[in-house]
Structure 1
Amino acid sequence: MDPLEDVLSLLRTRSHLSAGLTAGGQWSVRFEPPTGVKFNTLRRGYCWLEVEKVDGPIALAPGDCYLLTRPLPFTLRSDPPGPEIDAHTIFARAEDGMARTGTGDDVLLIGGRFTFGEPGHELLLAGLPPVIHVPAGTPHAETVEWALTVIEQELTSRPAASSLVAEHLAVVMLIHVMRLYLTREPREASGLLTGLAEPAVRAALTSLHTDPAHPWTVAELARAGAVSRSTLAARFKETMGQGPIEYLTRWRIQLAAQRLRESDETLSAIARHTGYGSESAMSTAFKRVTGVSPSVYRRGHSGSPASD
């Protein structure tokens, strides 16, 4: 099982496209902290992105895109900027899927956000920087550019089912941006994407996701990555921010939570499917990770089936 695909599927990743933004002259638009992962792509013109708590502005050129992985306020602006306007005011006046600010239309941005239908998205986002900037024309960016171009075409020409096509393409874009992130130089950050870039850790993660109910030991996982036990433990901790058995516990709890939400299986059956020898052992681990017992969790999600 591919760990990235596994996590994206479990979280029921969805895209939500917003109105586009055209701008010209001197302008500045202030956005509130986004819900989920925000993305934008600059299809025409040049502008600057400023994100609160991130050092320095980021210059955006045609074809560039970016992801905001934290709920931080941000500003898009010209250089020099115009008077700052709240984004809600501009987008409330959007017509035909397009908001406008400044004078002229030499700048065009399209974008939206990704949300996750289930808890546990920290598995995906942990360790990522607040902003992932993908400049146009960089190596391996061709597929991202293709997806963005087709999204723009769908939103501009509005053929049948255009919104659905564009939203699915946005998820494709997200996956490719994350793949691009995996190809970059080693980073100090930790998390799933950082771990997948380290061969021995990736081998261990693949083993854990292929058979999470197996009673894995660090020694077994080290053999899968062709390294020593101590080497795997050190690399896993460095790249993932936690040990392999701790990660396995958290992943098992995410799988158990999914079964609690989406099935009427007994707690004993769920415990067996997720690698716990007894209902009490799973309940203890579940409460330690989530803060509530499996029974309380199930009652709290009884009205939220997977088909919602």
Structure 2
Amino acid sequence: MSVQHGDPLDDVLALAGVTSSLSTALVAGGDWAIDFEPPLAVKFNAVARGSCLLTVDGVPGPIPLAEGDCFLLIQPRAFTLASGPGVPPVPAGPIFSAAASGVAQVGETAGVRVIGGRFDFGDRARELLLDALPPVIHVPAGTAEAQTIRWSLARIDEELGGRPLASTLVTEHLAMIMLIHILRLHVAGGGPGLLAGLADPVVAPALRALHARPERAWTVADLAEVSAVSRSTLAARFRQAMGRGPLDYLTGWRIELAAARLRRGDGTVAAIAHAIGYGSESALSTAFKRVTGSSPRDYRRALATRITAPAGDTA
């Protein structure tokens, strides 16, 4: 069977609407420790110079960070960066409020330099991708796989230091490169979810086929042929890796695609239905309501209400 191959991770990142931004850098020296409030977005920090210690609420033991190391804080948890154990921490707020020229400083020397930023994801990202990840991902600089991350980190530091033309745009794109490579490194681990599926040599070809042609009337037999295994093997491995069967996954992904098009105002409900593999508007409406709890038309009306609500309305 000749099958086109899509890129599920690329699809999910695009659908999740990921954006990145760099935050104020930190330089520190001597004995120091800083407490950070739980971030509202996915936080990343990288040690451009020196070393420090990371402690995250609910994660056992401190994590030593060497020069070139970086970490992603996936869940909104308080964390501490410190020169070492036993140093009483101070709140991050006043230190970063007093930052000058994009750099916050603690201590009178500058033996440690930490750069950081955030990744903002759309509404659906947590269920599609983030829930399958651990609360914090540490990427040591010494690993061979981290070469591109180290390269991106060095270029970000250069851009932040020199501030050439369009440096903000360049650093945001470099941060996205870091995110993708960190997720690639994590593909081999984790519990049920997209990353686990991409790490499985039986499941991954089926996933790529589903993402390349979501509108096709796939059967388990078709997908088993793509993965060159029996139907029972494909079904069992898919469920083990993804937490649900291949056709249930296809339904869920079609609904994600439909919801994204509804958010963009991209076509009528009938046109969306045909584009993603449903024979009629009513067939899409039935599946959409079963998955999301509302019909496509109600979903679109709710979006319009949210967009036109007064700015001060926090409901």
For residues 65 and 170 of structure 1, the distance between their equivalents in structure 2, rounded to whole angstroms, comes to: 11
The aligned counterpart of 1:228 is 230
For residues 286 and 78 of structure 2, the distance between their equivalents in structure 1, rounded to whole angstroms, comes to: 38
> Cα distance, 1:277 vs. partner?
2.2
Could you tell me which of 107, 111, 114 is aligned with 2:112? 107
Q: Deviations over 1:57-99 (max 9, x none)?
A: 1000000011111122211112134322222222111111111
More deviation, 153-162/112-121: 112-121
Could you tell me which of 292, 295, 299 is aligned with 2:294? 292
For residues 65 and 230 of structure 2, the distance between their equivalents in structure 1, rounded to whole angstroms, comes to: 44
The aligned counterpart of 1:56 is 61
**1:141 matches 2:146:** yes
Asked whether the 8 Å contact 1:128–1:190 carries over to 2, the reply is: no
Q: Deviations over 1:135-161 (max 9, x none)?
A: 112122111110110001001110011
The aligned counterpart of 2:73 is 68
Q: How does 1:1-308 map to 2 (within 5 A)?
A: 1-182=6-187, 184=188, 187=189, 189-302=191-304
The aligned counterpart of 2:3 is none
Asked whether the 8 Å contact 1:24–1:107 carries over to 2, the reply is: yes
Asked whether the 8 Å contact 2:46–2:69 carries over to 1, the reply is: yes
For residues 87 and 146 of structure 1, the distance between their equivalents in structure 2, rounded to whole angstroms, comes to: 28
Q: Deviations over 1:137-189 (max 9, x none)?
A: 2122111110110001001110011011000110011111112223x4xx451
Q: Quick one: which amino acid aligns to residue 218 of structure 1?
A: V
For residues 292 and 81 of structure 1, the distance between their equivalents in structure 2, rounded to whole angstroms, comes to: 52
TM-score using structure 1 length: 0.92
> Cα distance, 1:207 vs. partner?
0.7
> Cα distance, 1:284 vs. partner?
2.3
For residues 264 and 64 of structure 2, the distance between their equivalents in structure 1, rounded to whole angstroms, comes to: 44
**What SS is found at the alignment partner of 1:40?**
strand
For residues 81 and 116 of structure 1, the distance between their equivalents in structure 2, rounded to whole angstroms, comes to: 35
For residues 162 and 24 of structure 1, the distance between their equivalents in structure 2, rounded to whole angstroms, comes to: 27
Q: Quick one: which amino acid aligns to residue 159 of structure 2?
A: E
For residues 246 and 9 of structure 2, the distance between their equivalents in structure 1, rounded to whole angstroms, comes to: 16
Q: For structure 1, list consecutive stretches of 5 or more residues without a partner in the other structure.
A: none
Cα RMSD over matched residues?
A: 1.7
> Cα distance, 1:4 vs. partner?
1.0
Q: Deviations over 1:32-57 (max 9, x none)?
A: 22223211101111111111111111
Would the alpha carbon gap of residues 81 and 288 (structure 1) be closer, same or farther in structure 2, given more than 3 Å must change?
Answer: farther
For residues 118 and 101 of structure 1, the distance between their equivalents in structure 2, rounded to whole angstroms, comes to: 36
Asked whether the 8 Å contact 1:20–1:108 carries over to 2, the reply is: yes
Asked whether the 8 Å contact 1:21–1:98 carries over to 2, the reply is: yes
Identity of aligned residues (%): 57
**What SS is found at the alignment partner of 1:5?**
helix
> Cα distance, 1:118 vs. partner?
4.9
More deviation, 159-168/226-235: 226-235
Q: Quick one: which amino acid aligns to residue 71 of structure 2?
A: Y
> Cα distance, 1:121 vs. partner?
4.1
Q: Quick one: which amino acid aligns to residue 168 of structure 2?
A: S
For residues 47 and 108 of structure 2, the distance between their equivalents in structure 1, rounded to whole angstroms, comes to: 17
For residues 31 and 47 of structure 1, the distance between their equivalents in structure 2, rounded to whole angstroms, comes to: 15
For residues 103 and 161 of structure 1, the distance between their equivalents in structure 2, rounded to whole angstroms, comes to: 32
Q: Quick one: which amino acid aligns to residue 26 of structure 1?
A: D
After superposing on structure 2, the runs of 4+ consecutive aligned residues of structure 1 that deviate more than 6 Å are: none
